[in-house]
Amino acid sequence: MIREQDPAVEVRLLQALAMMESGIRLKRVSLREQHPRASEAELDELLDRWLARDE
């Protein structure tokens, strides 16, 4: 049996994903400010570690 999806659910999911992307961009800016001499690869590594943390 296929259930109809509530369009509001899709809207909320898209909003949540947009907020997550914004948060990741802001964290990258913060990391750049904290580590002004870091290369892009180093920033990627810092961001990856931040995203993977288990808190």
pLDDT per position as a tens digit, 36-46: 999 999 999 99
CA distance 39 to 45: 10
- In this structure, the number of other CB atoms found within 10 A of the CB of residue 31 comes to 19
pLDDT per position as a tens digit, 6-51: 888 889 999 999 999 999 999 999 999 999 999 999 999 999 999 9
pLDDT at residue 27 in the model: 97
pLDDT over 70 (residue 1):
no
Q: Which amino acid is at 45?
A: E
CA distance 31 to 27: 6
